[in-house]
Structure 1
Amino acid sequence: MTIPYDIRPARKSDAAEIALLISIAVHGDMWEEEKDEQAGEVSGPIEVGRLDLLSEDGTFSWSDAFMAEANGEVAGMILGYRKPDARQPAPPNLWAPLVPLQELEAESAGLWYVAMLGVHKNWRSQGAGSALLEHADQQARRTNARGLALVVDDGNGGARKLYEGRGFVVRDSRPIVPFPDSKQDGSNWLLMVKE
């Protein structure tokens, strides 16, 4: 039985859910806790991520995400965008864990780039990831992209199987610089492309 997923553009109010799914996608917290010395408050990684997603100059934007819903709950999300046709260099002074990811993303000129794909555990192996990738295919066609690109940890066998089953092939790789508290199994980031 195929579960019908409703894929919709993210809303600003989805920022915390997107931050959580990004943490799931990277197998750890992409954002570190922050302490406001003046207020004496600590913001956890998901709150820091939520604020980053809401910021005009954050790492990612909530407005680039699409949510997959089923049975009244969010099953997963995909965050992506059309890369310019001309290759863009990686920004300077990046946080070390992001450098290899940005280098690989820079090779995705003219493609619709899947920056993040996260699915909640109870929705995995139930078609949510495939539904989100089908939506990415539609976005690529809508934006006249030459295809799709994404980066995956070489130790994430389940994700690689999903991507390879949908026609993605490995084009390049970079050694992983781990995120804090990351539980990644692999040693390299793989750029996978579907043209």
Structure 2
Amino acid sequence: MQIRQAVKANARELAYLFSLAGEGLPEYLWSQRAKGNESPLDVGEQRARREEGGFSYRHAQICSHRGRLMGMIVDYRLPDPYPLADLTDSPSVVQPLRRLEARVPGSWYIRALATYETSRGKGVASLLMSQAEASAIAEGCDEMSLIVASENRVARVFQERRGFREVDALPVVPWPGCQTGEDWVLMTRRLGEG
């Protein structure tokens, strides 16, 4: 398995995995932007092809084996200070996530981590998290952060084993088709620990 920087050609798969990691929220948001015959995944692919923005191929690393993409991570340093002045311009379903991100300005943020079902249990997520830690250290960050749905026990246990701890939580604002019912949980890890 190898880890490498994503390229624009990976945008479709990045969008699919990003939506999977986001508990379906990205797909809902993309459906709000779709025009004509565009599918939500088409919109996600366009967003992944952007040169800027939190969800851009430029912030994604992929893990592949024999030319087949197995998983991806989208990670970057959060701004410091973190701007919340324009919070009301964000959709209500996103506002709790932004409020939690604002609690950890300047941290290395794992925005999305996902693997294809057929690639689970093979160490892909661990390799991607190790790459993210190396990137955080290279950028001078002393803290990593991520947000996970409270009922996503598999992801929470995986991150706890890597030294992440819950520091805050806010209720999920439901969206049509939402299957995430309770809270968004902010987890952090000080680098050099766990």
Matched-pair contact (CA < 8 Å) for 1:100–1:174: yes
2:101 is the alignment partner of 1:105: yes
Structure 2 unpaired stretches of 5+: none
1:170 to 166, 173, 176: 166
Query: What is the CA deviation profile of residues 135-171 of structure 1, one whole-angstrom value per residue up to 9, with x for unaligned ones?
Result: 1110110000012100000000100010000000001
- The aligned length equals 186
- Distance, in Å, in 2 between the alignment partners of 1:179 and 1:128 is 30
TM-score by length of 1: 0.87
TM-score by length of 2: 0.88
Structure 1 unpaired stretches of 5+: none
SS at match of 2:112: strand
> Would the alpha carbon gap of residues 60 and 90 (structure 1) be closer, same or farther in structure 2, given more than 3 Å must change?
farther
What's 1:79 paired with? 74
2:10 is the alignment partner of 1:11: no
Cα RMSD after superposing both structures: 1.9
> Would the alpha carbon gap of residues 116 and 180 (structure 1) be closer, same or farther in structure 2, given more than 3 Å must change?
farther
> Would the alpha carbon gap of residues 178 and 57 (structure 1) be closer, same or farther in structure 2, given more than 3 Å must change?
farther
Alignment of 1:26-105 (within 5 A): 26-28=22-24, 29-30=27-28, 31-32=30-31, 36=35, 41-55=36-50, 60-89=55-84, 91-92=86-87, 93-105=89-101
Q: Which runs of 4+ in 1 moved over 4 A?
A: 56-59
SS at match of 2:163: coil
> Would the alpha carbon gap of residues 158 and 55 (structure 1) be closer, same or farther in structure 2, given more than 3 Å must change?
same
Greater helix share, 1 or 2? 2
- Distance, in Å, in 2 between the alignment partners of 1:164 and 1:51 is 33
- Distance, in Å, in 2 between the alignment partners of 1:85 and 1:165 is 28
- Distance, in Å, in 1 between the alignment partners of 2:120 and 2:183 is 23
